[in-house]
Structure 1
Amino acid sequence: MLNNFDKISTDIDLFLENCDSLIVLGIGNDIRGDDGLGPYIINQLSILKAYVLNNSNIDDIRQEININQNENQDNEFEFFDNVIDINTGNTPLDEGIDSYIDKLNVDVNESLIERMKKTFFINGGSVPENFTGLIKKINPSHIIIIDASLMNMEAGEINIVNKDNIVDISISTHSMSLAYLIRYLELENEFNILFIGIEPESMDLSFELSDNVKESSNGLVKLLFDKILGI
Structure 2
Amino acid sequence: MSFEEQLKDFLKDYQKLIILAVGNELKSDDGVGPYIIKKLKSDMTENETLLFIDAQTVPENFTGKIKKENPSHIIIVDACLMDSNPGNIQIVDKNNFADIGISTHSMSLSYFVKYLEKDNDYKIIFVGIEPETMDWGDNPTSNVEKTANEFIEILKRLLL
1:142/1:192 contact within 8 Å kept: yes
- Superposed, 1:1-231 pairs within 5 Å as 7-50=2-45, 116-166=47-97, 168-175=98-105, 176-229=107-160
- Equivalent-residue separation in structure 2 for 1:152 and 1:162 (angstroms): 16
SS of aligned partner of 1:19 = coil
The residue type equivalent to 2:49 in the other structure is K
Post-superposition CA distance 1:185-214 (Å, at most 9, x none): 111112100110000001111101100000
Contact 1:170–1:177 (Cα < 8 Å) also in 2: no
* SS of equivalent to 2:35: helix
Are the equivalent residues in 1 in contact too, given 2:30–2:79 (CA < 8 A)?
yes
Tell me the CA shift for residue 170 of structure 1. Answer: 4.0
Q: Deviations over 1:155-182 (max 9, x none)?
A: 000011122222x434312242111000
CA distance in 2, matches of 1:180, 1:122: 18
Following the alignment from structure 1 to structure 2, what is the Cα–Cα distance between the partners of residues 44 and 117?
A: 19
How far did 1:18 drift?
1.0
SS in 2 for 1:209: coil
User: What is the CA–CA distance in structure 1 between the aligned matches of 2:102 and 2:159, rounded to whole Å?
Assistant: 25
Deviations 1:128-162 (A, max 9, x none): 10001000000000000000000110000001112
Letter in 2 for 1:22: L
Higher helix share: 1
Q: TM-score, length-normalised on structure 2?
A: 0.95
Partner Cα separation in structure 2 for residue 119 and residue 227 of structure 1: 12
Unaligned runs of 5+ in 2: none
Could you tell me which runs of 5 or more consecutive residues in structure 1 were left unpaired when the two chains were aligned: 1-5, 51-84, 86-115
The answer to whether the 8 Å contact 2:79/2:129 transfers is: yes
The answer to whether the Cα contact below 8 Å between 2:22 and 2:55 also exists between their aligned partners in 1 is yes
User: How many residues are aligned here?
Assistant: 159
Distance 2:96 2:36 in 1: 23
Which moves more between the two structures, 20-29 or 185-194? 185-194
Is this contact kept in 2: 1:29–1:36, CA < 8 A?
Answer: yes
